[in-house]
Structure 1
Amino acid sequence: MESVMSGVMESVNQRTQMVGQNRLELLLFRLSGEQIYGINVFKVKEVLQCPKLTNMPGSSSVVRGVAHIRGGTIPILDLSLATGNPPIENLAERFVIITEYNIRVQGFLVHGVERIINMNWEDIQPPPKGTGHEHYLTAVTKYNDQLVEIIDVEKILAEVSPLDDDISEDLVTEEITKRASEVEVLITDDSKIARKQICKTLERIGFKVVQFNDGKEAHDHLLSLIDQGIKPSDKYPIVISDIEMPEMDGYTLTAEIRNNPQLQDLYVVLHTSLSGVFNKAMVQKVGANDFLAKFQPDMLGQLVIDRLTSLGIDLPPSEGEA
């Protein structure tokens, strides 16, 4: 357990050496049974023995209670229950993984924590289709000939505590909607729920959205446009990419775009639930134009509108800025 703890608490500077190299660290854990699951270490703040939990009346059954940790009150979610499996028992012997997603801190109750492994995103694959098992997964990989399943945490959090994905009415004017309808925005995200949230926000304003599941799909699409004689930056004034994605992450997608003379003028925004760790300097390191923490509908909508305004596409500001 000490090696896990020391790995989790490594300095951010050490971990950022992987930035742009299509690599990640996974913290491996178990729920019930022998299946191994993984979560990106970047989202982990600490791992600890399950503390005393206080019941939260009226909360989802997935929330086993709240824990008082380092002066804060943190909801503790049973990841086994959340994925349709039996609840975790003997809590005093179990572990909690404290994470930050979408500007929220929460703990995930797990049966046991295994180790931290260093992986290539190329070795992380989308979940197999048609098995009925991919419902709560964003990806799978192999470690020591064992299948590792990477849970779609954003889907679980959206079910337990739905995010407000409505946008302010003053962002959606008739003039903006009319002009936005002529604009296509490319988005890529491996989480189905995240794609749905982004699409809802942008389509509510009036934008057309072209979506992909991972960086490789998006990159292949951009290259196919070049083959057709279409300049990608003319088609897409803005590309919005998640960071964590199987096969090709958002950092590597950004680096590939910047290294290709026919793509390098694309405007790339990294849009991610890794809100607690990343900053402008790290975004600039891989050449992204901007960074936005998930999920803030008004900020996302305003960012796209501001981008089009800066290009001279005559979109008026929202009423709040007039």
Structure 2
Amino acid sequence: MAGVLDGVDQRTRLAGRNRLELLLFRLAGEQRFGINVFKVQEVIQCPPLTQLPGSHPVVRGVANMRGKTIPVVDLSHAIGGAPLDSTEGRFVVITEYNCRVQGFLVGSVDRIVNMNWTEILPPPRGAAKESYMTAVTRIDNDLVEIIDVEKVLSEIVALPEEVSEGVIDEEAIDETQHILVADDSAVARKQVKRVLDRLGVMATICNDGKQALDQLKAWSNEGRRVSDFLSLIISDVEMPVMDGYTLTTEIRKDPELANLPVILHTSLSGVFNQSMIEKVGANSFLAKFDPDELARVVQARLKEHKEELKARSSQQA
């Protein structure tokens, strides 16, 4: 697999054009799976692993790479399949999610494909709620499953999901304000919704950027001034049909929506996102998932929106 990710830095040009590149791999069988190249640091032959007592059953061990200890997760086992029978001849996909680096043990690695997000579709209706699919696509007439890695990791790593005591600012709470959330991961949607509920904020939840954009345009077409009631848009970046970068770009093109604040809530690396928010016109990005930081950012925006409405009301008086 040497060189499979060569030139990944140049692929940043795909973002903002509703395109992505998928690294295709197999686990224990012939079914192919995909992962966004932007979350992949490298692909290596599985090195010697050291097992740790008391670790999660799906963690095959830890690898020492360049002085850093990285947990290696048997991805087949993690999504409910049989564990890989051996690490010999297998590969580890080193990834960064939610500011954490981990490796995913896979059976084999296929290739990288360049695709449009419109070709990435939500899971079929009727898929079990317990499914680890966040999206699907077709390549070479075969169905490729894109795994909800956030769901996988949430079951392995105990992350805080509740807002800490002392973070809630009662002055910021305003049940008349509204927030639009777009995220294709059911786990991520629940995490964000839990924080917004704790803040007493109404929310409209969408499964992808296209749904979010359609909702915004529907409100606008009703003759409503969206900025009067919508305080903030919180959008994931990686979503089927329309990604968060393209959603932001489309919002900025629409005169009725152009001034709405957009925060990209993503597990992609910070350096990359800093350049992309400038390119597409987002206000900022927030790394997943820190409930306290999300609460602070939302509360600051709620206060800011209140002041904007007061100023607007004074001008109209």
Is TM (by shorter chain) over 0.5?
Answer: yes
Corresponding residue for residue 200 of structure 1:
194
TM-score (normalizing by structure 2)? 0.93
> What displacement does 1:306 show?
1.3
**1:75 aligned to 2:50?**
no
Structure 1 gap ranges (5+)? 315-322
Residues 1:279 and 1:125: Cα distance change in structure 2 (over 3 Å): closer
Aligned-residue RMSD, C-alpha: 1.5
State whether residues 37 and 149 of structure 1, in contact with CA within 8 Å, keep that contact through their aligned partners in structure 2. Answer: yes
SS in 2 for 1:233: helix
- Which letter does structure 1 place at the counterpart of 2:5? V
Q: 2:85 aligns with which of 86, 89, 99?
A: 89
Corresponding residue for residue 212 of structure 1:
206
**Cα separation, 2, equivalents of 1:264 and 1:249:** 17
Residues 1:75 and 1:285: Cα distance change in structure 2 (over 3 Å): same
> What displacement does 1:11 show?
4.3
Corresponding residue for residue 167 of structure 2:
171
How many aligned positions are there?
A: 308
State whether residues 176 and 229 of structure 2, in contact with CA within 8 Å, keep that contact through their aligned partners in structure 1. Answer: no
Where does 1:73-222 land on structure 2 (aligned, <5 Å)? 73-132=69-128, 135-177=131-173, 179=174, 181-222=175-216
State whether residues 32 and 88 of structure 1, in contact with CA within 8 Å, keep that contact through their aligned partners in structure 2. Answer: yes
Residues 1:277 and 1:9: Cα distance change in structure 2 (over 3 Å): farther
**Cα separation, 2, equivalents of 1:252 and 1:148:** 23
State whether residues 5 and 42 of structure 2, in contact with CA within 8 Å, keep that contact through their aligned partners in structure 1. Answer: yes
Residues 1:46 and 1:276: Cα distance change in structure 2 (over 3 Å): farther
SS in 2 for 1:311: helix
Where does 1:6-85 land on structure 2 (aligned, <5 Å)? 6-12=3-9, 14-85=10-81
Residues 1:184 and 1:271: Cα distance change in structure 2 (over 3 Å): same
State whether residues 257 and 264 of structure 1, in contact with CA within 8 Å, keep that contact through their aligned partners in structure 2. Answer: yes
SS in 2 for 1:53: coil
Q: 2:236 aligns with which of 234, 242, 251?
A: 242
**Cα separation, 2, equivalents of 1:71 and 1:47:** 17
> What displacement does 1:276 show?
4.9
State whether residues 241 and 270 of structure 1, in contact with CA within 8 Å, keep that contact through their aligned partners in structure 2. Answer: yes
> What displacement does 1:310 show?
2.5
Q: Which is worse superposed, 44-53 or 305-314? A: 305-314
Structure 2 gap ranges (5+)? 309-317
Which whole-Å deviations, capped at 9, do the CAs of 1:75-105 have from their partners, x for residues lacking one? Answer: 1001100111110122021000000000000
Q: Which is worse superposed, 74-83 or 133-142? A: 133-142
> What displacement does 1:281 show?
2.5
Which whole-Å deviations, capped at 9, do the CAs of 1:249-286 have from their partners, x for residues lacking one? Answer: 00000000001111101100001011355242321100
SS in 1 for 2:286: strand
**Cα separation, 2, equivalents of 1:121 and 1:47:** 23
State whether residues 19 and 115 of structure 2, in contact with CA within 8 Å, keep that contact through their aligned partners in structure 1. Answer: yes
Q: Which is worse superposed, 275-284 or 111-120? A: 275-284
TM-score (normalizing by structure 1)? 0.92
SS in 2 for 1:238: strand
**Cα separation, 2, equivalents of 1:276 and 1:139:** 24
> What displacement does 1:214 show?
0.2
> What displacement does 1:133 show?
8.4
SS in 2 for 1:309: helix
**Cα separation, 2, equivalents of 1:196 and 1:84:** 21
**Cα separation, 1, equivalents of 2:181 and 2:61:** 36
Corresponding residue for residue 284 of structure 2:
290
**Cα separation, 2, equivalents of 1:171 and 1:183:** 19
